[in-house]
Amino acid sequence: MSSDSIVKKIKEIKKNKNAVILAHNYQIGEVQDIADFVGDSLELSRKAAATTADLIIFCGVFFMAETAKILSPKKKVVLPDKNAGCPMADMITGEDVKKLRKENPDAIFVAYVNSSAEIKSLIDICCTSGNAIKVVNSLPIDKKIIFLPDKYLGDFVNKKTGRHMELWNGYCPTHLKITPKDIEILKNKIPDACVLVHPECTPEAILKADEALSTAGIYQYVSKSSKQNFIIGTELGMLYKLKKDFPEKMFYPVSDKIICPNMKKITLEKTLWALEEENFEIVLSDDIIKKAQAAVQKMLAIG
């Protein structure tokens, strides 16, 4: 079946089933093109929750689809590939958090949204890479804070807020590939370029950048900037959206190796199959949804 035929069929089934398709910024181009909404994970989940759709097809990774289910418990949420996981989210378990809780009964637990629904149900408040500084600044200064699972985002927030949060030893293997050396090499070739990296990068890589921003933050920065050349330090899928929406500007990846293999598991064909068969549905207990929802809502209340 040709791509055009698949796209046509997706549109037909989507309409008949009252479905909405979400695609994260890191998805391949043809999946982004068929989506109703393209963006970062929480933004997508909130947009889906605001629709009257009965079915959500989340083209992303597992924790993102879980977040959509948390915010839309009455909707059916389907992930096109059950093996599209997140190594960083898998670096901490519910048992790890329970143990930390026992050892630190008075601490405030902050979890990056890039974590499982179970983890979200066991902590006090969530954050995104875009609002982590604001969330942490809202917490009492006399309280111990434990931040998980991303040590690099946590370190970035510590430096920006002056806090001394304890950090779990998690990280994103994809953003770890962004090196200061690669940034320097490209910057020497394009000296007038603005360097934008994700705060999941190492502190050394962030020091070489003009700004460390979430994917939504990178997009907003580019949209408002008068600059023409940008070196982008995040997953390569982000460049597709930037080039598509800002064709008058030039975008250069720090490296052509910055690919998340899990994000790339979602294809046009799998999106069609997800609509047709509705397999790999996200199923969460009412208890986990309720507790995880509370942690997300506390974050949203801050802004």
In contact, 100 and 273? CB cutoff 8 Å: no
Residues 13 and 51 in one domain: yes
Asked whether residue 216 is domain-assigned, the answer is yes
Residues 58 and 112 in one domain: no
What pLDDT is stored for residue 1 in this prediction?
76
Asked whether residue 301 is domain-assigned, the answer is no
| Cα distance between residue 92 and residue 149, in whole Å | 6
Residues 225 and 163 in one domain: no
What pLDDT is stored for residue 41 in this prediction?
87
Residues 38 and 98 in one domain: no
Domain of residue 27 covers: 3-85+263-283
Asked whether residue 192 is domain-assigned, the answer is yes
Residues 152 and 109 in one domain: yes
Asked whether residue 121 is domain-assigned, the answer is yes
| Cα distance between residue 219 and residue 241, in whole Å | 9
In contact, 206 and 212? CB cutoff 8 Å: yes
Residues 77 and 14 in one domain: yes
What pLDDT is stored for residue 18 in this prediction?
97
Residues 72 and 109 in one domain: no
Residues 81 and 101 in one domain: no
Task: Give the end of a domain, one of 127, 152, 171.
Answer: 171
- Low pLDDT (below 70) residues in the chain: none
Number of folded domains in the chain? 3
| Cα distance between residue 54 and residue 171, in whole Å | 34
Asked whether residue 297 is domain-assigned, the answer is no
Asked whether residue 303 is domain-assigned, the answer is no
Q: What's the distance, CA 53 to chain centroid?
A: 22
Contact partners, residue 133, CB within 8 Å, separation at least 6:
157, 160, 161
Task: Read off the pLDDT of residues 34-72 as tens digits, 9 standing for 90 and up.
Answer: 999 999 988 999 999 999 999 999 999 999 999 999 999
Asked whether residue 159 is domain-assigned, the answer is yes
Residues 22 and 39 in one domain: yes
What CATH number is given to the structural domain containing 70?
A: 3.40.50.10800
**E-only strand ranges, 134-202:** 145-148, 166-167, 194-197
Cis peptide before 180 (omega within 30 of 0): no
Residues 99 and 56 in one domain: no
Asked whether residue 152 is domain-assigned, the answer is yes
